[in-house]
Amino acid sequence: MGSITGNFQHETVIVTGGSSGIGRAVALAFGEAGATVINADVRSDPKDLDSEAPTHEAIEAEGGVAEYVETDVSNPDQLEAVVRAAREFGGVDVMINNAGVHVSLEFREVSREDFETVQGVNSRGVFFGTQIAAEDMIERDEPGVVLNTASTTATDPEWEHSHYAATKGAIRMITRSAALELAQYDIRVNSVAPGPIATEITEGWSERAGESIGSEEDPTPPTRAGRPTDLAGAYLYLASEQADYVTGEHLQVDGGSQVA
């Protein structure tokens, strides 16, 4: 198969939650494509078992430009700080609101504290991350792209995911609402909805990464567990000129799990 290669030189990309998992894979992909990458996370050290160097150091080791800014996305003031940091590189061109938290709990077990914690990072972080980045783009009179990490649980419920799914459904509608209102400023807003991906956030999936999970008797997709790198191409495409006519979309990247 052919490939689409993106050139993001002279572009500044903020990735929240870029230290591990999907965020790290996406940040590294943009770094490889020539972008200046700012990792906005509560910690710089990766949680991934096979990763040692922090994301910004890994990008710099390959000759790229990157920076780490300690950021709690549930705090809008800290999101404003990381967007200001991007001004040192010309301002944010692509904002990727990826940071998220998840704890498996049955619906009846979810406490108010559990609910508020997940809402604060997942929903509030995306809402104000989108708003703050858009305001910066508008102030600089520059077009831009916002990409939000949702989930297949935004549309399809799963056991022990009620409070998490509520945030991902919210992200889907934050994305569509923002896309509607920000189009006049030449700002595109889309969401990517991963299926089950082998990261530290999904307990048990890391051991299954790359393993075949289909069979001749049951050939329905997905045929293997997803990896963070399976997501990177979707973000690169949606941020690229090839997607200039794409906004308000919710792109599922799930290996076909919603087909079965």
Predicted confidence (pLDDT) per residue in 90-133, tens digit: 999 999 999 988 888 787 887 899 889 988 999 999 999 999 99
- Helix (H) or strand (E) run with residue 14 in it: strand 12-16
Q: How confident is the model at residue 158 (pLDDT cuts 50, 70, 90)?
A: low
Q: Are 146 and 188 in contact (CB under 8 A)?
A: yes
Least confident range from 33-47, 142-156, 183-197, 237-251: namely 142-156
Residue 158 and residue 142: Cα distance in Å, rounded?
40
Inside any domain, residue 6: no
Maximum Cα interatomic distance, the chain, rounded to a whole number of Å: 57
pLDDT score at 4: 67
Inside any domain, residue 63: yes
Residue 173 phi/psi, 5° resolution?
A: -80, -30
Q: Which domain holds residue 27?
A: 12-253
Which residue out of 164, 185, 235, 245 is catalytically annotated?
A: 164
> Taking the alpha carbons of 106, 112, 117, 122 in that order, is the dihedral positive or negative?
positive
Q: Which residue has the higher pLDDT, 30 or 257?
A: 30
pLDDT score at 206: 43
* Domain of residue 194, CATH code: 3.40.50.720
pLDDT score at 2: 63
pLDDT score at 205: 46
Inside any domain, residue 163: yes
pLDDT score at 87: 97
4: tokens are: 């689409």
Predicted confidence (pLDDT) per residue in 74-86, tens digit: 999 999 999 999 9
Cis status of the peptide bond prior to 222, with omega within 30 of 0: yes
Our count of domains for the chain comes to: 1
User: Does residue 237 carry a catalytic annotation?
Assistant: no
Burial 151-175 (b: 16+ CB within 10 A, else e): bbbbeeeeeebbbbbbbbbbbbebb
Inside any domain, residue 249: yes
